[in-house]
């Protein structure tokens, strides 16, 4: 049986990118890192718990990817650059095959975004994965939730609702043709955090949040922080062909309330529409204008000429 | 039932110290923090898992304290200053009384060391607590594990073995008079991280580690990182009167192999003995000279005129 030290040395040391700003990585009491003087430090943490955020038996490679991706997405939503990750793993047992696949999923995504794994710990316990991400952003340049103003436009990246449909497929609660099913499951198991887009939106977006709990719930959070309301056009929601195929008439509802997409929802002034398009092109990420920020509170949904009522079932572990 | 957002707002927002270098705390996608130009960032994470690091039914106030203390101890071992904490909590249910006591234990220790809680998440799941600590240290000034050299002296702070005896008392595996039992249990439930001592040892100690898994195991880690051996005098080990009372002749063994004390074990050149004493006095923390660093490998234990053989049962979840 491996010790924790052996296990970390074998599967996690040197995982991810090699970075010059890592003075001291895994192996001491803490990591030592360099932050440039004109930058602010950005810190976030998020966890995946078996039975809550993933199904028992979920592929380890996907878990390694998602545990990092959900944190990278928070960094992206701040318009920041991801740099250093810490990993806390609670494992029922140390299975070599599982650990190899987990490290592969984590490591591949980390290298893609130049993130170094600089510390962590492994404990015996019910399976859960907690990652902490540290990044940097030019001082004063971060995208916050509270900068939306009435009259500005509301956008979302990529397509929404896919990951929730992918999870339903994995649970056997939904059927779809193989190609569509494959696409949707990939969207759930290997979400792509929008770091390039977040960075490109610095100086362009007025507020930004990542869509982790569903577009309706997360847009409402951005609006609440900004003390504004918004009107969203249902027909404008970016739905993937696979989602339309799998969900039919329920696709727009999945797009509003389905979580785990890790797209960015953001606002920008009308006169920055061109700048938004340039940012999207530079990041090679689709961006769709879905509505307009309004004075007041709440989120109105517009369909054709009528307003639609909607009570979202946003993802919240402590709400029954 | 509370939502995660409500729960965080009610129990965790504003917990710990208020710091001027927190640009943005709990409530956005990530926290924004300022690091001075001539400092390095110090990052660490550690977790407490029910049934592994604490007994089911352990007092929530102690868990809040310990989850933070074990991380502060890593910052102390680097000679760094603790600043910002993130908290990931997996909870079977949101019990108000438990959360209040947990936040009280966490918050009191955080305020004592001027640490701000700047982010985190709460998930439903088997009870486990993961904390991430970020701190700073003057660039190049951190205490690492790899600087011990033959001929230097080896030290430990406070007393060792107390927490392990306290845990045995709580488990009903040991008996002791009330005053001794109370002291030892406190040492397990409310360990005091040695941040003042760690900071005072910058420029004095040549290597440092915190004693989390037992003095023998952690001293061996420091020696391995420094590519040295050491000889420790058993009679020199700092044993508390309570430990002697509770453990009798087994006290020195508990002192060597018992974990969870969160003292600092460090080396320093002989000609810095006065500086060590000054650092200890400034930090108001007892420091005991326990041995000498030697060329070669391994840890020899000296008792009177003889060398003792010892196989430690260091704390490691993945070793059976």
Compute the count of residue pairs across chains A and B with CB atoms less than 8 Å apart: 230
Cβ–Cβ contacts within 10 Å for residue B172, how many?
7
The answer to whether the pTM exceeds 0.90 is yes
Q: Is the pLDDT of residue B318 over 60?
A: no
> Which of B126, B192, B190, B127 minimizes the C-alpha distance to B157?
B192
- DSSP class of B80: P
B 108-147: CB under 8 A from A:
118-126, 128, 130, 132-135, 137, 139, 142, 144-146
Give the residue from A4, A28, A133, A148 with the most B CB atoms within 10 Å of its CB, the best one to mutate: A28
> Which of B195, B181, B244, B190 minimizes the C-alpha distance to B79?
B195
- DSSP class of A159: -
Beta bridge partners of B49: B128
Chain B partners within 8 Å of A209 (Cβ): 29
Taking an 8 Å cut-off on Cβ atoms, the answer to whether A125 and B50 are in contact is: yes
How far is the C-alpha of A197 from the C-alpha of A210, rounded, in Å?
11
Q: Is the pLDDT of residue B97 over 50?
A: yes
Q: Is the pLDDT of residue B300 over 50?
A: yes
> Which of B44, B114, B108, B118 minimizes the C-alpha distance to B81?
B114
Q: Using the CB atoms, write b or e for B59-91: b if 16+ within 10 Å.
A: ebbbbbbbbbbbbbbbbbbbbbbbbbbbbbbbb
**CA-based radius of gyration for chain A:** 20
Q: Is the pLDDT of residue A226 over 90?
A: yes
| B210 near A CB under 8 A | yes
Which of A40, A53, A133 lies nearest to residue B34, judging by beta carbons? A40
Chain B partners within 8 Å of A132 (Cβ): 43, 45, 86, 132
Taking an 8 Å cut-off on Cβ atoms, the answer to whether B45 and A121 are in contact is: yes
CA A14 to chain centre: 24
Are B7 and A319 contacting, i.e. CB atoms less than 8 angstroms apart? no
pLDDT (0 to 100) of residue A213: 93
Chain A partners within 8 Å of B23 (Cβ): 40, 142
How do residues A34-89 score in pLDDT, each as one tens digit?
A: 998 899 999 999 999 998 889 999 999 999 999 999 999 999 999 999 999 999 99
How do residues A66-76 score in pLDDT, each as one tens digit?
A: 999 999 999 99
pLDDT (0 to 100) of residue A311: 63
Q: Is residue A75 within a helix (H) or strand (E), and if so which, with residue range?
A: helix A60-77
How do residues A247-303 score in pLDDT, each as one tens digit?
A: 999 999 999 999 999 999 999 999 999 999 999 999 999 999 999 999 999 899 998
B 32-51: CB under 8 A from A:
32-37, 40-47, 49-51
> Which of A90, A91, A52, A45 minimizes the C-alpha distance to A68?
A45
Chain B partners within 8 Å of A26 (Cβ): none
- Nearest chain B residue to A212, by CA: B29
How do residues B148-207 score in pLDDT, each as one tens digit?
A: 999 999 999 999 999 999 999 999 999 999 999 999 999 999 999 999 999 999 999 999
> Which of B68, B215, B189 minimizes the C-alpha distance to B133?
B68
Taking an 8 Å cut-off on Cβ atoms, the answer to whether A28 and B145 are in contact is: yes
Q: How confident is the model at residue B1 (pLDDT cuts 50, 70, 90)?
A: low
């Amino acid at each position: 049986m491996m010790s924790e030290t052996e296990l970390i040395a074998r599967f996690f040391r040197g995982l991810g990118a090699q970075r010059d700003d890592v003075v001291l990585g895994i192996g001491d009491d803490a990591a030592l890192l360099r932050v440039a003087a004109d930058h602010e430090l950005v810190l976030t943490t998020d966890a995946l718990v078996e039975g809550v955020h993933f199904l028992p038996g979920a592929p380890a490679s996907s878990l390694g990817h998602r545990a990092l991706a959900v944190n990278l997405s928070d960094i992206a939503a701040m318009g920041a650059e991801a740099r250093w990750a810490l990993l806390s793993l609670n494992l029922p047992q140390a299975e070599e095959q599982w650990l190899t696949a987990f490290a592969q999923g984590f490591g591949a995504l980390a290298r893609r975004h130049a993130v170094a794994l600089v510390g962590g710990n492994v404990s015996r316990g019910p399976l859960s994965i907690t990652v902490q991400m540290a990044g940097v952003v030019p001082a004063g340049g971060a995208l916050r939730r509270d900068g939306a103003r009435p009259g500005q436009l509301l956008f979302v990246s990529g397509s929404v609702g896919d990951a929730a449909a992918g999870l339903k497929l994995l649970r056997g609660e939904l059927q779809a043709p193989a190609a569509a099913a494959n696409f949707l499951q990939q969207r759930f198991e290997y979400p792509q955090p929008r770091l390039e887009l977040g960075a490109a939106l610095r100086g362009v977006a007025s507020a930004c949040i990542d869509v982790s709990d569903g577009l309706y719930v997360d847009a409402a959070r951005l609006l609440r922080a900004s003390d504004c309301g918004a009107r969203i056009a249902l027909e404008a929601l970016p739905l993937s062909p696979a989602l339309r195929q799998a969900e039919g008439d329920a696709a727009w509802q999945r797009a509003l309330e389905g979580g785990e997409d890790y797209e960015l929802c953001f606002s920008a002034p009308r006169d920055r529409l061109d700048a938004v398009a340039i940012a999207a092109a530079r990041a090679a990420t689709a961006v769709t204008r879905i509505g307009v920020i309004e004075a007041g509170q709440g989120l109105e949904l517009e369909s054709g000429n009528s307003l639609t009522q909607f009570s979202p079932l946003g993802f919240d572990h402590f709400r029954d």
